[in-house]
Structure 1
Amino acid sequence: MTPLPRLFAVLALAALWAARAADAAPPPDVGAETPLTLQETLRRVAEQGPQSALADATLRSAEANVGVARQLPNPTLSVEAENIGGTGAYSGGQLRETTTSLAWPLELGGKRAARVRAAEAERTAAVLGADAARADAVLQATEIFIEAAAGERRLVLARERLRLAETGVNAARARVRAGKASPIDEQRAEVVRLNAEVAVGQAQRTVDLARATFARWTGTPGAVPRAAWFETVEGDVSPETDTPPALALAEAEVAAADARLSVARRARIPDLTLSAGVRRFAAVDDRATVVGIALPFPVFSSGRAGVAKARADLDASEARQRTIALDYGRAAASAQAELDNARAAAQTAGGPALAAAEEAARIARLGYEAGKFSQLDLLEAERVLAETRGGAVQALTDFHLARARLIRLQGRADPLFKD
């Protein structure tokens, strides 16, 4: 066989093998889940979320504003023609005079320096505002992550409650058939099972909604939270050592308002415009130097209204700063108390209370099957167990949410837990 037919034969065999392999390969799982840790979630939100894009655009705008403030006023080139027409000796433009001049405005009173200081102060406030916007996005993403993780656990508990209810129905049916219990026990157990089915449906719909929200925020279809630390009740939030972000932003806004007031005051100082040029006399073809100076006369606009507005803006910024300082003290104390209460509730609900409820339900189940306890005792024990488990999940959720909010309030960048 010549080399060319051999090559065709090899290619045909390779194509046949590839087709069979494709037929044998399982189809892609379109609904596959993508577990994400909290750190992965925050990274994807920072990369894809509109909050970061908005913060970056705000910073670019503030930086460009500083560049605009540093610019000098543009000179003006003017050309004037006189005596270009008329009667008598001025007809035909024989006595035409043409003046070409360049006018340069001079800003007096330190206007440019004040304008640059105001732009730089506004840039500082913009940086702090952008950091606050990113921190808000981190808090929202963390809250969505925690709620989604809690929903997954509530669904597991609802399914476990349904399993126990089905076991209770089977046990009641067996006792009724053996003549050891009244048929009402079987009906009562069936009602409990139906209610458990409804609870599973509600929990599933809640999880579906939480997953959809989680996927939108992360930009990852099928994203599900992976929080191995959810059952962990630890991680104290150390007191802040720096100025809290809310107070720092308020101080920056006061500084920017004060700088704008300085700009408004200096704007009342008139600016000079110097001009120099050359005038040509067409009749004799001679040239002469022309210089000039212009000074505005503030008759209608003296700048007082601008100063009054800037003064009022500064007073408002200072009032907001005092209000934020008062609110921060109250909010910080409230957030710390909320965190302490949530920690205590989580430690109790997930510790001795849960262990006691599980043991009581186990004893009641064995006792009912042995005919030592009534069905009402069993249902009550299982109800307490379900409420305790649900309370433990809620307490853990409240703890993590309170911790995330306190971290945001203090402006810390450390995550809740290291995944």
Structure 2
Amino acid sequence: MFKGIFDPTKSDGWRAHRRVTEVACAVFALLALPGGAFAQGAVPPLSPTNSDAASQGASAASTSVLSLSKAISLAMEGNPEVAAATRQYEATEGQVLQGRARPNPELAYSLEDTRSQTRTQTWQLNLPLELGGKRTARTKAAEKAREQAQAELSELKATVRANVVAAYFDALTAKERLSLAKDSVSLAKSSTDTVGKRVAAGKVSPVEETKAKVAEAGVRVELAQAASEERNALTRLSALLGNKGTAFAALDGKADVLPTLPSLADLQSLVSSAPAIVRAQLEVDRRRALTELEQSKRVPDVTVSVGVQRSNETQRNVALIGLSVPLPVFDRNQGNLLEALKLEDKAREDLQAATVRLHSEVTQARERSAAIAVEVQSLEQEVLPGAKSAYDAASIGFENGKFNFLEVLDAQRTYFAAKSQYLKALAEAHRAASDVDRLLGGVTPAGQAATHN
């Protein structure tokens, strides 16, 4: 399109120069427009989040490399489940305020005889007085509910943090698998070209070239699958951060660096401070407080009344002082007290069940992590070097005419299968460590290292 402008055969070169200047000015004008197409296409728009702070954090993440600690921080700010649990915790403050409230006084008015000469009017103020420690017990139960909501929030944050760690390393390993698939395609293409040259030279049968092309097509399918897995992994990670789309450019981490977990005995000693156990213990305390509240209701409240009575017939004001006490003859709150006692017993049983279950889950996660670590070590030190050496030897032998293509293809498949198994084992190792971190609430050294990585 610029051929006419720069054609030296044109006599009016100054017009060409002017047209170039106009085109350049137009391009700079488009770039300078804040709402223009170039400005909108410079950085992809971020999906909406639940808070302004999360949007600002996601915007910063889109222009920088996302580290694991930054991903955890963004998840704590923008994850919708964490936000909802935070609102639930904040709502329990209303229960505490309501529990501390005293009963309202009551203003009563009565009229006797509608005739004005003999009319009697009464104004009375009734003030209920709670006895038996009802207000204290009610406030204590509300405070325990608030502590329980805080424990649930901490447990949810530990779960989200563990899910972010697992998703982060899933994305890293998916990226490695995609790189592996690309290398496999490159090698398959090189092998196909080599076989084609040997077929053209008459050294091998054309069938070998057909097999090479079929193998290359299969590897390209694996490349497409690896690319899809990477996109899905990034999407899952982005969703945990509170975004609907990927809001970061790259990940800063190494999947082959395995987390270090304490011994099983050390992990078992941390079970008592795990979020699930703390929440179950707080449920026992809350049920105990509710039981005390129901016991306090067995003591009847007293209502003190003061007022004045005016009689038109006698033209005198009479002071009134009264006291009313319910008689607990039929309803002694025995049903509610029995229910509270049974629910308190249930909470204790739930605490014991949660402790046993958590000990079992921690043991299983620790054993799974140890087994996967052994698998990773075996693949890294024995399987991968042997498979790589066999593949290199087969490739060199094929180039020198000592091996056929099927042997090269078999060695290549063995090597890439071992590498893929190695990457899957790495992802599973990080997932097992994140399960331990989730169960114990991030108090393990692996969880703390992930947070400060």
Q: Would you call these one fold, judging by a TM-score over 0.5?
A: yes
Cα distance in 2 for partners of 1:283, 1:17 equals: 105
Partner of 2:254: 229
In 2, the alpha carbon distance for the partners of 1:115 and 1:357 equals 69
- The reply on whether 1:371 has 2:370 as its aligned counterpart is no
- Secondary structure of the equivalent of 1:275? strand
Partner SS, residue 280 of structure 2: helix
Letter of the structure 1 residue corresponding to residue 350 of structure 2 = R
What's the counterpart of residue 174 of structure 2? 151
Q: 1:88 maps to which residue?
A: none
Cα deviation, residue 322, structure 1: 1.1
Query: What is aligned with 1:7?
Result: none
For residues 175 and 41 of structure 1, do their structure 2 counterparts lie closer, same or farther at Cα, with a shift above 3 Å needed?
same
Q: Is the 8 A contact 1:211 1:224 kept in 2?
A: no
- The equivalent position to 2:194 in structure 1, one of 161, 171, 178, is 171
Q: Which residue in the other structure is 2:5 paired with?
A: none
Deviation at 1:118, TM superposition (A): 1.5
Residue equivalent to 2:421: 391
Amino acid at match of 2:95: N
1:416 equivalenced with 2:450 (yes/no): yes
Amino acid in structure 2 at the alignment position of 1:236: L
- Partner letter of residue 411 of structure 1? G
Q: Distance in 2 between matches of 1:349 and 1:74?
A: 74
Of residues 249, 263, 270, the one that matches 2:293 is 263
Please say which of residues 362-371 and 347-356 is displaced more in the overlay. 347-356
For 1:225 and 1:155, the matched residues in 2 are separated by 14
Judging changes above 3 Å, is the alpha-carbon distance between structure 1 residues 73 and 23 closer, same or farther for their aligned structure 2 residues?
Answer: closer
Q: Report the CA distance between 1:113 and its aligned residue.
A: 1.4
Q: 2:123 aligns with which of 74, 77, 100?
A: 100
Give matches, 1:61-72, under 5 Å: 61-72=91-102
Moved more, 378-387 or 352-361: 352-361
Select the residue among 348, 361, 365 that pairs with 1:331.
Answer: 361
State the shift of 1:321 in Å.
Answer: 0.8
What aligned pairs does 1:353-368 form with structure 2 within 5 A after superposition? Answer: 353-368=383-398
Q: What is the Cα deviation at residue 67 of structure 1?
A: 1.7
State whether structure 2 residue 132 is matched by structure 1 residue 113: no
Counterpart selection for 1:131 from 127, 148, 154 = 154
1:44-63 → structure 2 map (5 Å cutoff):
44-63=74-93
Equivalent in 232, 250, 274 of residue 244 of structure 1: 274
The one-letter amino acid paired with 2:209 is: E
- In structure 1, give the amino acid aligned to 2:111: A
How far apart, in 1, do the equivalents of 2:451 and 2:342 lie? 45
Report the secondary structure of 2:65's partner residue: strand
- The question of 1:194 aligning with 2:194 is answered no
**Deviation sequence 1:43-72 (CA, Å, 0-9, x none):** 111111112222222222222212211111
Q: Could you tell me how far apart the structure 2 residues matched to 1:342 and 1:417 are?
A: 23
- Amino acid corresponding to residue 321 of structure 2 in structure 1: V
User: What's the counterpart of residue 315 of structure 1?
Assistant: 345
8 Å Cα contact 2:89-2:150 kept in structure 1: yes
The alpha-carbon distance between structure 1 residues 18 and 120, as it changes in their structure 2 partners (threshold 3 A), is: farther
Q: Is the contact between residue 214 and residue 223 of structure 1 (CA under 8 Å) also seen in structure 2?
A: no
The gaps in structure 2 that reach 5 residues or longer are: 1-22, 33-37, 45-61
2:123 partner letter: T
Please tell me whether residue 184 in structure 1 is matched to residue 214 in structure 2: no
Pair 1:342-2:372 in alignment: yes
Report the Cα distance in structure 2 between the residues aligned to 1:127 and 1:222, rounded to whole angstroms. Answer: 30
How far has the Cα of 1:29 moved from its partner? Answer: 3.5
CA RMSD of aligned residues (A): 2.4
- Write the distance in 2 (CA, Å) between the matches of 1:309 and 1:207: 53
* SS of match in other structure, 2:428: helix
What is the deviation of 1:24?
7.0
After the TM superposition, which of the residue ranges 139-148 and 374-383 deviates more from structure 2? 139-148
Cα contact 1:38–1:225 (8 A) shared by 2: no
Whether 1:212 aligns to 2:235 is yes
Tell me the amino acid that sits aligned with residue 390 of structure 2.
Answer: A
- Looking at structure 2, the residues matched to 343 and 224 of structure 1 have their Cα atoms a distance apart, in angstroms, of 30
Q: Distance in 2 between matches of 1:117 and 1:257?
A: 10
Q: Distance in 2 between matches of 1:140 and 1:233?
A: 16
Aligned to 1:78: 108
Q: Does the CA-based 8 Å contact 1:237-1:407 persist in structure 2? A: no
Cα offsets for 1:131-157 (capped at 9, x unmatched)? 101111112222222222221111111
Q: Give 3-state SS (helix, strand or coil) of 1:416's partner.
A: helix
Letter in structure 2 aligned against 1:130? L
- Deviations 1:68-114 (Å, cap 9, x if unpaired)? 11111111111111112xxxxxxx32211111111111111111111
Q: Could you tell me the percent identity over the aligned residues?
A: 26
Q: Does 247-256 or 208-217 show the bigger shift?
A: 208-217
- 2:316 — aligned with what? 286
* Cα separation, 2, equivalents of 1:170 and 1:417: 48
Letter in 1 for 2:191: G
Q: 1:342, 1:398 within 8 Å by CA — same for their partners in 2?
A: yes
The alignment partner of 2:450 has SS state of coil
| TM score, norm. by length of structure 2 | 0.82
Letter in 2 for 1:340: A
The residue that corresponds to 1:295 in the other structure is: 325
Counterpart code for 1:228: G
**Number of aligned positions between the proteins:** 398
Quote the offset at 1:34 in angstroms: 5.2
Which range moved further: 277-286 or 211-220?
A: 211-220
Range 333-342 or range 29-38, more displaced: 29-38
2:159–2:441 contact (8 Å) kept in structure 1: no
Partners of 2:173 and 2:424 within 8 A in 1: yes
Q: Is the 8 A contact 1:145 1:225 kept in 2?
A: no
